[in-house]
A and B are shown apart, each in its own frame.
Chain A
């Protein structure tokens, strides 16, 4: 369980997060939705420990995220940021292998390579393994980086995966492929997944629990089918019911 307890965060007198409390469990996909600037990425940053909240706390398995040694935390949860521009000419396989860094001291180089290759396979990126990452398209790069975070928590039960807009550059096929895969890992390895995204259709299909963030606070939360409806969408995003219906699904 990753629990956020009354998180507040502000910079230069501007409030980004205000009193956000939520519990993200294992074995399910939690999706954070909301308009631009609602504080979604900041919330994710707090959950990862990279942003220190002004007040409130984040606990993973009952222990404050700031108390974990970085390596231990890296074996417990993997994080995919929104942008990941690698300008140096690493190959896709080298990037995915970097995901195995938390286990480097174990010295199982061969096992790490096998896991990296598996991760490339499941993300349909095996054909890209020897390509230089800066020369790949945005969607291809995104698949490689998803493979990297998967390799980081490969075969670790009860781990967490925190993803900031992981499917933003993917085509439809790869969107479904990635989310199906993550859904499967939730079930087989009891993975706890938190995804920040904009795509309401995907959220409706894959989320177990949905959090709508607006102006730094949780405006609405619940089971995805209960919460994602025309009225809520219209209210949260400030669009007319007429448009909102199109995104609310059947």
Chain B
């Protein structure tokens, strides 16, 4: 029998430092890249003209920051959901968070119509956030009815919520005008195009505490992988843990979706990559996912806004385009090696 020896504990600090360094470098390069190219060195030293400085501060930086926050939120929530469902294929979409957000956006676009003023600027964001939390609320109510907060019930409820929301979106699409369909479609493709500082600050204040809380439960999520009863035997209040993970993941993903639309595969692929290289321990997995998620979405967004300049490609297309085949490759590789996930 072959022996699989992984000296993981040794990797912990260097791995996180390496990822943090990678994030800083990507952030610098992304800030320098765009319609008006800047030199990385000038960005570091601040040796810029007033015009360049204003581009950097009010266009590039908020967008870079938003990509990092959203990428981290999606990846950490994905890792947490996979731990919760003890299934490496789970992601926040599984319990209907993304679809119900999309339904709320569709309702706003088609039934409410254009809204003026400040409210109009943020109406889709607010709708998406409320929609995402609504699915979470439905799942809690139903779980309470079933008496026990079982992940199987949550999963099945999620499937039902997804199906219902998809039907709702379908019906609204049927009712809508061409213009409305276009708005809705672009929203579901995902984009960080609307990045302004207020959005970054609002999303950041929701995402950072949520990620922090999720990472604080890393040890308990490890124990949950032994089984729900086993975790309880080892002193974990599994009901409370499940509630907290769902709420934090819904908040982080809901806030992200509200500014970016639906961006696929970050939440699925990033935890996989980290697990393959650093192992499944959530205490390392989740912070590493946060960093790598931020890096990957930042790279994808930078490519999305430069590759077809002056137009912009929706970043969701790009993440799915790269994420899909990559995910298939992972599956094939695992089948081929008859390896375990």
Contact among B226, B229, B237 for A86, CB-based, below 8 A? B226
Tell me which of B219, B225, B235 has the highest count of chain A C-beta atoms within 10 A of its own C-beta.
B235
CA gap between A135 and B1 in the complex, in Å = 10
Count how many chain A residues have C-beta atoms less than 8 Å from C-beta atoms of the other chain. Answer: 31
CA gap between A134 and B88 in the complex, in Å = 14
A residues near B223, Cβ cutoff 8 Å: 98, 101
Q: Does A132 contact B (CB under 8 A)?
A: yes
30 residue pairs bridging A and B, Cβ less than 8 Å apart: A48-B229, A70-B235, A71-B235, A79-B229, A79-B230, A81-B227, A84-B226, A84-B227, A84-B230, A86-B225, A87-B87, A87-B88, A87-B341, A88-B280, A89-B279, A89-B341, A90-B222, A90-B279, A90-B280, A95-B226, A98-B226, A99-B234, A101-B236, A104-B219, A130-B6, A131-B3, A132-B6, A134-B340, A135-B340, A152-B234
Known contacts being A87-B86, A90-B281, A135-B340, is A101 close to B225, with CB within 8 Å?
no
Q: Which residues of B contact A (CB under 8 A)?
A: 3-6, 8, 86-88, 219, 222-223, 225-227, 229-230, 232-237, 275, 279-281, 339-341
Tell me which of B3, B88, B232, B234 has the highest count of chain A C-beta atoms within 10 A of its own C-beta.
B234
Q: Does A94 contact B (CB under 8 A)?
A: yes
Residue of B nearest to A88 (CB): B280
B residues near A134, Cβ cutoff 8 Å: 340-341
B43 to chain A, nearest CB (A): 41
Residue of B nearest to A74 (CB): B235
A residues near B5, Cβ cutoff 8 Å: 130-131
Known contacts being A91-B6, A94-B281, A130-B6, is A73 close to B225, with CB within 8 Å?
no
A44 to chain B, nearest CB (A): 11
B225/A90 in contact, CB under 8 A: yes
Q: Which residues of A contact B (CB under 8 A)?
A: 48, 50, 70-71, 73-75, 78-79, 81, 84-91, 94-95, 98-99, 101-102, 104, 130-132, 134-135, 152
A residues near B236, Cβ cutoff 8 Å: 70, 101
A residues near B234, Cβ cutoff 8 Å: 74, 98-99, 101-102, 152
CA gap between A17 and B4 in the complex, in Å = 45
A89/B226 in contact, CB under 8 A: no
12 more A-B contacts (CB under 8 A) besides A131-B3, A131-B4?
A48-B229, A50-B232, A74-B234, A84-B227, A89-B340, A89-B341, A90-B279, A90-B280, A101-B223, A101-B235, A104-B219, A135-B339
A101/B219 in contact, CB under 8 A: yes
Contact among B6, B86, B229, B340 for A50, CB-based, below 8 A? B229
A residues near B275, Cβ cutoff 8 Å: 88-89
A residues near B232, Cβ cutoff 8 Å: 50, 70
Contact among A48, A73, A88, A152 for B86, CB-based, below 8 A? A88
B284 to chain A, nearest CB (A): 11
A residues near B339, Cβ cutoff 8 Å: 135
B281/A81 in contact, CB under 8 A: no
CA gap between A134 and B232 in the complex, in Å = 22
Known contacts being A88-B341, A98-B223, is A50 close to B280, with CB within 8 Å?
no
A34 to chain B, nearest CB (A): 21
B233/A87 in contact, CB under 8 A: no
B13 to chain A, nearest CB (A): 15
A88/B233 in contact, CB under 8 A: no
Enumerate the 8 nearest inter-chain pairs by beta-carbon distance, A residue then B residue, closest first: A74-B235, A134-B340, A71-B235, A88-B280, A79-B233, A130-B5, A102-B235, A101-B234
